[in-house]
């Protein structure tokens, strides 16, 4: 990973995402090979490496009988961060009004914010996040997305995140890796991913059967699939909107809708992983 990069780590349940994250944090010993983080061996220098990381793995946890400030101050001392770090991260995550509320009385969303605040204590060089938007409402998800993007762009924090919210990953990640059955099956920059996504053209007309014949003879498009009463879809690269419109209008077809559709990350993910459980 590159400095200041947001890396989206994707995979179906059981694909190996959390196991990989646990190996990166020294919680699981690799069966072979070596974990290198920031150019250092995790196995040889665990303390010096882990002090430069912040993490949130699987689910948000906290000491239930301690309040927000006490939870954060305890972690601050563990990572040897200055006392001011507590107020800084509380401000970043909007936790000031819950400062003296015990963790057991926090909502799931605010407990997630507390876990993220703890991960940010001391402003680590790398953040390892497993489902950082878990339990957050849409406004909270937007807030966390904005925060993570700011950390990456302004502070140069490298973020390695696993999430089932593929739309969030799509908007946030600079690079995406897809793991399937324990193997990394695809790794792409966001721009490369955009170029590889399936594209199609949806056409709505008054005479779909005749439109299919005209486009077949005029442009050689043979993969037109009917959906709905009057709609057709084609993934043929020859289905250029301007040419399709010209053929149909010249042929006396009433063109009601012509819509290019680009595959979203969820559809691409399912295609790469074969749609298998």
Residue 275: per-residue pLDDT: 64
Residue 46: per-residue pLDDT: 87
196 confidence band (pLDDT: 50, 70, 90): low
pLDDT tens digits for range 72-85: 999 999 888 999 99
Say whether pTM exceeds 0.75. no
pLDDT tens digits for range 20-74: 888 988 888 888 888 999 888 898 888 888 888 998 886 778 999 999 999 999 9
DSSP assigned state of 136 = -
**Residues 198 and 268 sit within 8 Å (Cβ to Cβ):** yes
**Which residue, 94, 92, 90, is CA-closest to 76?**
90
Tokens of 231: 């709609």
pLDDT tens digits for range 166-181: 878 888 889 999 988 8
Please say if the pLDDT value at position 267 is more than 80. Answer: no
Please say if the pLDDT value at position 17 is more than 70. Answer: yes
Residue 277: per-residue pLDDT: 39
| Domains of the chain with CATH codes | 6-193 (3.40.50.300), 197-268 (3.30.70.270)
For the chain, what is the mean pLDDT? Answer: 87
Which residues touch 243 (CB under 8 Å, ≥6 apart)?
219
pLDDT tens digits for range 207-246: 999 999 999 999 999 888 888 888 998 888 888 899 999 9
Least confident range from 15-24, 86-95, 138-147: namely: 138-147
Q: Where are the alpha helices (DSSP H) in the chain?
A: 17-24, 46-50, 68-78, 84-93, 108-120, 138-155, 166-172, 190-196, 208-219, 241-250, 265-272
Backbone angle region of 33, left / alpha / beta, with phi > 0 → left and psi within -120 to 50 → alpha:
left
Please say if the pLDDT value at position 152 is more than 60. Answer: yes
Share of the chain above pLDDT 70, in %: 96
Say which residue the tokens 């295609």 belong to.
271
**Coil/strand/helix, residue 53:** strand
């Amino acid at each position: 990973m590159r400095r200041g990069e947001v890396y989206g780590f994707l995979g179906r349940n059981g694909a190996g995402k959390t196991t990989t994250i646990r190996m990166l944090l020294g919680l699981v010993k690799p069966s072979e090979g070596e974990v290198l983080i920031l150019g250092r061996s995790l196995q040889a220098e665990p303390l010096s490496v882990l002090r430069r990381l912040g993490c949130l793995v699987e689910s948000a946890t906290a000491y239930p009988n301690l309040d927000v400030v006490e939870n954060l101050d305890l972690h601050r001392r563990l990572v040897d961060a200055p006392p001011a770090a507590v107020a800084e991260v509380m401000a970043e995550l909007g936790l000031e009004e819950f400062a003296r509320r015990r963790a057991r009385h926090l909502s799931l969303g605010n407990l997630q914010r507390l876990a993220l605040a703890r991960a940010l204590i001391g402003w680590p060089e790398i953040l390892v996040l497993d489902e950082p938007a878990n339990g957050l409402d849409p406004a909270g998800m937007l807030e966390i997305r904005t925060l993570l993007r700011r950390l990456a762009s302004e502070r140069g924090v490298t973020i390695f995140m696993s999430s089932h919210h593929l739309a969030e990953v799509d908007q946030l990640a600079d690079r995406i890796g897809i793991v399937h059955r324990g193997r990394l099956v695809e790794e792409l920059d966001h721009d490369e991913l955009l170029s590889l996504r399936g594209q199609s053209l949806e056409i709505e007309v008054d005479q779909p059967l005749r439109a299919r014949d005209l486009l077949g003879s005029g442009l050689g498009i043979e993969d037109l699939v009917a959906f709905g009463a009057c709609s057709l879809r084609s993934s043929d690269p020859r289905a250029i909107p301007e040419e399709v419109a010209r053929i149909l209008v010249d042929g006396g077809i009433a063109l009601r809708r012509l819509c290019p559709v680009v595959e979203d990350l969820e559809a691409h993910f399912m295609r790469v992983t074969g749609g298998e459980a």
